[in-house]
Structure 1
């Protein structure tokens, strides 16, 4: 492949996050071109392609994967399809960027990892927080020893309210598989080299208690112990009325670093109503630079053949914690990660 020719990237899944990724590839990346969009829903791919001037659309994913001009795919389908799509794309020789979660079982995680390894293609997972400037600078401070030995860590995700999703359409355990999975990866990344050893989780339906008996969990708090002695807390809620709140913190023997801010900027308004800040309301706004950076890195890995972002092993490590949380909530007890790993 020519070092100057843009990488031909295809999108699988033309929903909200897929559309955001496609727009980044089409309009923000100089090292890539949006070559195709696929979605099985009639008209979905075509509508997005029209907006972004993308030349090819498919409703049959196999037809897209058979196109020899496509070098890489971004998988942004519903989570239950991620593993099969990642495996199929890797076996077709395409580099794979897969939105989280990469898999819902450890067996499926191993399938995706093995498929990418056997095909010799990069496999990157969409843990975008690693690419956010504040989190990246926090990570650099930890690596430089500025907080000493990590002792207490915290990561939280509070989605912007009011909660407007249809609770009946939210798959079971979404709060762990699709929301807190980001926090689990962030905590593992910030506590580099450590492995989770024990998890205790509590979860409830506090936003929509009328759907609790139907399996909805919209609020959770998780305590994680690591083999280096550190203890972490992760929390999530589906409806923060003040905005999209993503934060992290690492307290250590020599200091502390905090990352993330619900405020859009440091501008503060002082007027007759008091003191106020504008806040983030969408992940695609809050993390636009992070999403761009992670996709730029993915495209660069297609050229080099070396993955520079979070990979299948990282996805599996976060998934182990999610599965331990599910067991902990179900059985109302602390769960050792050894039970999950087998």
Structure 2
């Protein structure tokens, strides 16, 4: 198989990002992109990338026998039906996170994928960041001994707008879900218990919409390790993404990415430029790598690096965190059906 022909459902920010990256991949032909809103600007953008077809009906992609893989980059509420339809049509699937806002619906989608025998990769792009991958390798190789503590800091530079908050599924499902996946990834162990505390400290409107903008989440892992995640919707200095895994023989840390490594030292202070400001800038290379590996799995066979079960586990942790916040108690993961 020389080239993979793909279709992209959803021409928003992420859909366009994947299309632009794959247009430079010699193993890929982006044949069709669909979106409910078709504009002249979208058509011109697609033509510039060499995408031959733009449609407002996703079924044009699902029903096209020449398309071998589908990228689902549409709104979260559409993911499950699109996955089911794509799987039944025999197409491999890349789906952005989360698969759904209800882990039980996600389980149904995974059942359809398994029955169809197709690949499903989920968009936890942070696993492909070169720094986090190296930290994972260090832990797996036993260089810091047995993991004792996993600490994750994840803070956005600015909160999203009201319209987005209304449909996001909340901070745990929309934002912290990346950190729940990263906790499993770094520790090499499943989460067994979740205890969450949250507050509205950034924007009172977020609280009025029934969500929080600041959180601390405590985790217990099956291997005995403990975890702490702190989240904020607003870090005024930039996109704050740091981790530490502390073990019996040492620790590994990953600091923020900066635009450069220049450091200014004077008698008054030592300073450097702020961290990279936005996630598209911070994780540019990881977005490219995750799609490249997905295509490689289709071409050469093998298991995808982040599968549907990874998505399901992260969603269950997010659900447990929400339940913990509501009921003000630790929640065991085995409570989740």
TM-score by length of 2: 0.93
In structure 2, what is the Cα distance between the partners aligned to 1:45 and 1:76? 15
Map 1:197-212 → 2, pairs under 5 A:
197-212=192-207
8 A contact 1:70–1:94 mirrored in 2: yes
In structure 2, what is the Cα distance between the partners aligned to 1:328 and 1:143? 30
CA apart distance, 1:147: 0.7
Residue of 172, 177, 180 corresponding to 1:181:
177
CA apart distance, 1:270: 4.7
Q: Which is further off, 259-268 or 71-80?
A: 259-268
In structure 2, what is the Cα distance between the partners aligned to 1:236 and 1:47? 39
CA apart distance, 1:47: 4.9
Map 1:210-289 → 2, pairs under 5 A:
210-270=205-265, 274=269, 275-289=271-285
Deviations 1:42-66 (A, max 9, x none): 3275354134231111111112111
In structure 2, what is the Cα distance between the partners aligned to 1:290 and 1:172? 23
In structure 2, what is the Cα distance between the partners aligned to 1:61 and 1:213? 35
8 A contact 2:120–2:304 mirrored in 1: no
Task: Mark the CA change 1:53 to 1:14 in structure 2 (over 3 Å): closer, same or farther.
Answer: same
8 A contact 1:100–1:125 mirrored in 2: yes
In structure 2, what is the Cα distance between the partners aligned to 1:305 and 1:248? 32
Deviations 1:134-153 (A, max 9, x none): 01111111111111000100
8 A contact 2:101–2:169 mirrored in 1: no
In structure 2, what is the Cα distance between the partners aligned to 1:265 and 1:73? 36
In structure 2, what is the Cα distance between the partners aligned to 1:77 and 1:58? 14
CA apart distance, 1:191: 1.4
For the pair 1:117 / 2:114, whether they are aligned, the reply is yes
Q: Which residue of 2 aligns with 1:315?
A: 311
Residue of 92, 99, 102 corresponding to 1:102:
99
In structure 1, what is the Cα distance between the partners aligned to 2:289 and 2:48? 22
Task: Mark the CA change 1:85 to 1:276 in structure 2 (over 3 Å): closer, same or farther.
Answer: same
Task: Mark the CA change 1:277 to 1:174 in structure 2 (over 3 Å): closer, same or farther.
Answer: same
CA apart distance, 1:30: 2.2
Q: Which residue of 1 aligns with 2:60?
A: 63
Deviations 1:298-335 (A, max 9, x none): 01111234223110011111111000011011111111
Deviations 1:160-186 (A, max 9, x none): 23x4x3224312642111211110011
8 A contact 1:320–1:337 mirrored in 2: yes
8 A contact 1:199–1:324 mirrored in 2: yes
Q: Which residue of 2 aligns with 1:85?
A: 82
Secondary structure of 1:107's aligned partner: helix
8 A contact 2:195–2:219 mirrored in 1: yes
Q: Which runs of 5+ in 2 are unaligned?
A: none
Q: Which runs of 5+ in 1 are unaligned?
A: none
In structure 2, what is the Cα distance between the partners aligned to 1:113 and 1:122? 10
Secondary structure of 1:258's aligned partner: strand
CA apart distance, 1:290: 0.8
Q: Which is further off, 263-272 or 209-218?
A: 263-272
Corresponding pairs, count: 334
Q: Which residue of 1 aligns with 2:324?
A: 328
